Amino acid sequence: MPEIRTEIKDAEHSVDLLSKAIETFNSASVTLVQYYNTLEDKVRLLTEEVDHKKQLLNSILDSIDVGVIFFDKEGFIRIMNNASESLLRVNANDLIGGMSIHAEIHDDVIVPKNGKSFYAIVSFLDVRDREGNIIGHVLIFKDITRLKQLESENERNRRLTAMGELAIKIAHEIRNPLGSIELFASLLASDLMGTEQGDYAVRITKSVRSLVNTLDNMLRFTREIRPKPEYSCLNDAIRETCDEFKELFTSNNIRLYINEKGQYWMPVDKGLIKQALINILLNSVHAMIDGGSIEIEIRGTSYANSGGGVEIAIRDSGHGMDAETKGRIFEPFFSTKDRGTGLGMSIAEGIIKAHKGTIDIKSEVGHGAEFIIKLPDQKGRKDGG
């Protein structure tokens, strides 16, 4: 009997131990489940954070205009932003996982396989983890073609400015001697009139006058046109200008007609007005290679809301202008001739505008051209009729 009681006690003790073990296991299981759930929440949060940072990184990479391409340690492309696709003319899906960017890099020039080459700032850098181990490489490049163009334009402008300053100095230096040559050639032409030598002197006078006019246009173009008005007769300025062209008109078989519908006085810079007329008349002469006619009409007029004014219409029988030429004739340096600076008509317009006036064109190919100068604020008029 004592032995049976001992066995029963041992069995009860074993049951107690097993119960405690089960309770401990259950408790550990609950703790493990709780820990797993906590760990699972942390993993989920970390995954969301990683996804958010990845999306943020991709958004940043895709929002910049710098090409960024990431290669892993083996040299395979893993990341490629939008700028890279645009600059290299490729699709990222076709390149990711490969080792080629479908372009060649030569110093500061990138030549895409399927696109136009461009200047770029290029960097190829190691990418390291926090421990300093290399985990890949990143290619960074930025298109600087526009910057190169601006640098080139700036250098060209600098050279042009230097050349312009030199040209102005030269123009000033040679203008006075040319004036002397023109004067003496005119005197010789008068003394030798009717002789072969007199014809040569006339040609010299015409050539020198053309050079002086070109220099005057250059000098006026380089500085602001500021009229010094004096009360004077426009008719006189027009007749004096035409008198200077007599020999040129005769030698080019051009007939001149002046139709004055009154005498017109107003405050103008007579020298500048004559310069504008010279440029317009020269344009007409160049448009009549085989001769023709020029008619100048001076008439009074009135403008809405601005009182009276004077119109000077200059009509020629030249070859006329097409729409493009008519639209660009007042642009500086624009010319349809092989020779010439292309400044004459631009200067003429500038002079008229400086007098608060306007200059318009009526022209068709084959039907000549008419330049209409309008000068407002007429100051007195003496009718010729």
pTM (2 d.p.): 0.53
Find the CATH number of the domain harbouring 192: 1.10.287
Listed residues 39, 63, 87: the one ending a domain? 63
Both 235 and 301 in one domain: the answer is: yes
Both 323 and 240 in one domain: the answer is: yes
Residue 125, Cβ density class (10 Å: 0-12 exposed, 13-18 middle, ≥19 buried):
exposed
Q: What is the pLDDT of residue 382?
A: 44
| Residues in the chain with pLDDT values less than 70 | 1-15, 50, 57, 164, 168, 172, 175, 210, 218-222, 303-307, 338-341, 377-385
pLDDT digits (tens, 9 = 90+) for 20-72: 777 777 777 778 778 777 877 787 777 777 677 777 767 787 778 899 999 99
Both 29 and 121 in one domain: the answer is: no
Both 44 and 83 in one domain: the answer is: no
Q: Which residues contact 345 (CB under 8 A, 6 or more apart)?
A: 279, 280, 283, 329, 330
Both 180 and 319 in one domain: the answer is: no
Helical H segments across the chain, by residue range: 2-63, 82-88, 92-95, 145-191, 196-221, 234-244, 246-251, 270-286, 323-328, 344-354
Q: How far apart are the first and last CA of the chain?
A: 166
Q: What is the pLDDT of residue 4?
A: 62
pLDDT digits (tens, 9 = 90+) for 127-158: 998 888 999 999 999 999 999 999 988 988 88
Under DSSP, the state recorded for 225 is -
Q: What is the pLDDT of residue 13?
A: 65
Both 277 and 379 in one domain: the answer is: yes
Q: What is the pLDDT of residue 384?
A: 40
Both 246 and 285 in one domain: the answer is: yes
Structural domain boundaries, residue 74: 66-143
Strands 254-260 and 292-303: parallel
Number of independent structural domains in the chain: 4
Torsion angle defined by CA atoms of residues 269, 272, 274 and 277, in that order, rounded to the nearest 10 degrees:
-120
Q: What is the pLDDT of residue 15?
A: 67
